[in-house]
Amino acid sequence: MPPHRNAEGVPFPTGVLNVDKAAGETSFQVVRKLRHLTGAHRVGHAGTLDPLATGVLPILFESATRLAEFAHRLPKTYVADIHLGFVTATDDAEAEPQPQGDPSALTAEDIAGALAHFTGRILQEPPAFSAVKVDGKRAYRLARQGEVPKPPAREVEVYGARLLDFVSGASAVARVEIRCGSGTYLRSIARDLGRRLGVGGYLGRLMRTGYGPLTVETAMVLDSQTSAESVRGRLLPAEVILPEMERVRLNVEQEAMVRHGRSVRVLPEPGPGAVRAHDSAGRLVALGHTDPLRRTFVPEKVLS
């Protein structure tokens, strides 16, 4: 498919835009806004942020949308405010806080000690208000119908959890930094931290400060001055959202074959696992794997 062209007949390039999402808007609203602004044919995001959350939201343009499943493997970093002594039905500030326990006696040492139990590979129960399916239905739909869904616990990985700040008292708030893998619910960490401390807890302010190599400090804020031209100027190469994997270089003939979905023999021969193929100029052409029997590179995702 040829690249989509805007009203001026200029095709929008493939790439990634690091957006600093504002509070109150959904990830889809950001996608819709940028699709309308740029005239790009394919626009998507790599990892939903809840409406109340802010921070890094990678927006993928054109062929980069094919890389979303690989982007999810990158580690994410969050800064979260956890309110202690209260619980909510949604495990965040969307619902009315209900008193649970008195956090007045808690110290920063108590919080740091409890946080240590949330690192490594842990079993985590998703929030009742989540998109996880329970008996074939979305948990949040069941919860809205007055049921109390119990999403099955699943294994997630938390690479690090540390206390940044703590305001003690009857309305205690712990500001924490969490670095984690895909599928980790920060609302669940807030809820479970409160349970471990015996006082209850829910998630307040949440900012995603990092997504792989992308940081909130370098993210673009969308406002009334944002234009298609300014977005183009901030586009990053598609491969910025890829996890580390082996690379191969294709000559012109091999590139043509790969673009038609055909396997090619490349030297030096790549090892097992995911492989990314680049053209002679270093541009990303495709992602794939090695066929150990035929000793060839097999393309799976080809960028236009």
Kindly report, residue by residue over 19-50, the tens digit of the pLDDT: 999 999 999 999 999 999 999 999 999 988 98
Asked if pLDDT for residue 299 goes beyond 90, the answer is yes
Q: CA triplet 221, 227, 232: central angle to 5 degrees?
A: 85
- Mean pLDDT over the full length of the chain: 90
Q: What is the pTM of this model?
A: 0.88
Q: What structural domains and CATH numbers belong to the chain?
A: 15-73+213-241 (3.30.2350.10), 76-210 (3.30.2350.10), 246-302 (2.30.130.10)
Coil, strand or helix at 133: strand
Q: From the candidates 20, 50, 91, 192, which is the catalytic residue?
A: 50
pLDDT band at 81 (very low <50, low <70, confident <90, very high): very high
3: pLDDT strictly greater than 50: no
pLDDT tier for residue 7 given thresholds of 50, 70 and 90: low
Task: Please report, for residues 49, 56, 113, 217, the alpha-carbon distance to residue 34 in angstroms, rounded to integers and kept in the order given.
Answer: 16, 15, 43, 20
Q: What pLDDT sits at residue 2? A: 41
- Using an 8 Å Cβ cutoff, are 101 and 199 in contact? yes
Residue from 170, 180, 164 nearest 200 by CA: 170
Residue 246 CA: distances (Å) to CA of 10, 269, 283, 289: 34, 10, 15, 10
Q: Contact, 247 vs 285, CB < 8 A? A: no
Asked if the model's pLDDT at residue 271 lies above 50, the reply is yes
Q: Is 50 a catalytic residue?
A: yes
pLDDT at 130 over 70: no
